[in-house]
Structure 1
Amino acid sequence: MLPHRRPRKKGRVEIIPMIDVMLFLLVFFIMITLQMITDKGLKLHLPTSSTAKTLPHPHFVINIQKDGNVTVKGKEMSPAQLESFLAADGDVGHTQVTIAADKGVPFQKFVHVMDTCQKAGVTQIGIATKTS
């Protein structure tokens, strides 16, 4: 007598777990892409320059508004807060910073921000301008 075999079940593709995985991957890549977008900064009236060059994307854009307030990544900072923020970046020697100052900002305020960057150890400092 031959052993009785069960009927073989056909495999089926479950679509629900596949949709879950695809949505998870989509959300993951969107979050990573959003972190890669550089800080555009605030709308400032930048000074013009005839010899302006395009720089690579900096790690941080430091905005100096017309009233003298310093803003980085949407947060207003004092010079001491800015220095500790930049120093906490890790490898400060390779941190790239661009200073975007409104053309109505007194030059002394610009120099204070530049000094603060240098005190934190940042050596790669760019200045944002518009081409004329």
Structure 2
Amino acid sequence: MAALTARHGTRRRSMNEINMVPFIDVMLVLLIIFMVSAPLITTGVVDLPSVGAARRQPDHVIEIQVAADGQLKLRVDGSDAQRVPLKEVAARVKAVQGNSANTPVVIAGDKAVKYESIVQVMDTLQKAGVQRVGLSVKAGSAN
């Protein structure tokens, strides 16, 4: 009986330590795979529009100025700007364009104008069938 009790005293203990070697091996293999494959990945190229000087200014230009408080002013060929409500913008632009649908319409917004105001003007003109609508930009350094 003494021999039986001695056997019960030598139990196996569970291992409390985690073996890190397989984990490190997997990480090193992944690191090597990413290092080799990174130069082979092509980056996506986005073709952004650029602002440049036009060859020739158009003869007839309609400009819609959007002020910081949301008021709209219509200006034709550099003349004095006249206040116009949003509801009447499309009708006034169409009247100024007359038969020439190719007359460009330029929207110039103040720096403090909400983007929503510009989009509302563009949407109104688009729904009225105005073809050539652009945004005015300030030429300067690209900092």
TM-score (norm 1): 0.56
SS of aligned partner of 2:116: helix
The residue number in structure 1 matching 2:116 is: 108
Distance 2:122 2:130 in 1: 9
Displacement of 1:52: 1.5
Q: Unpaired runs of 5+ in structure 2?
A: 1-48, 76-80
Matches within 5 A, 1:67-82: 67-73=69-75, 74-82=81-89
Asked whether the 8 Å contact 1:86–1:120 carries over to 2, the reply is: no
- Could you list the structure 1 runs, at least 4 aligned residues long, displaced by more than 4 angstroms after superposition: none
Matched residue count:
83
TM-score, normalised with respect to structure 2: 0.52
Superposition deviation, residue 98 in structure 1: 0.6
Separation in structure 1 between the aligned mates of residue 120 and residue 100 of structure 2, nearest angstrom: 18
Instruction: State percent identity of aligned pairs.
Output: 30
Name which one, 1 or 2, has greater alpha-carbon Rg: 2
Structure with the larger RCO, 1 or 2 (CA within 8 Å, 6+ apart): 1
SS state at 1:66 partner:
coil
1:69 is displaced (CA, Å) by 0.6
1:90 equivalent in alignment to 2:92: no
5+ residue gaps, structure 1: 1-49
* Cα RMSD (Å): 1.9
> 1:61 is matched with which residue?
63
Taking a change above 3 Å as real, the CA distance of residues 100 and 60 of structure 1, as seen in their structure-2 partners, is same
More strand by share: 1
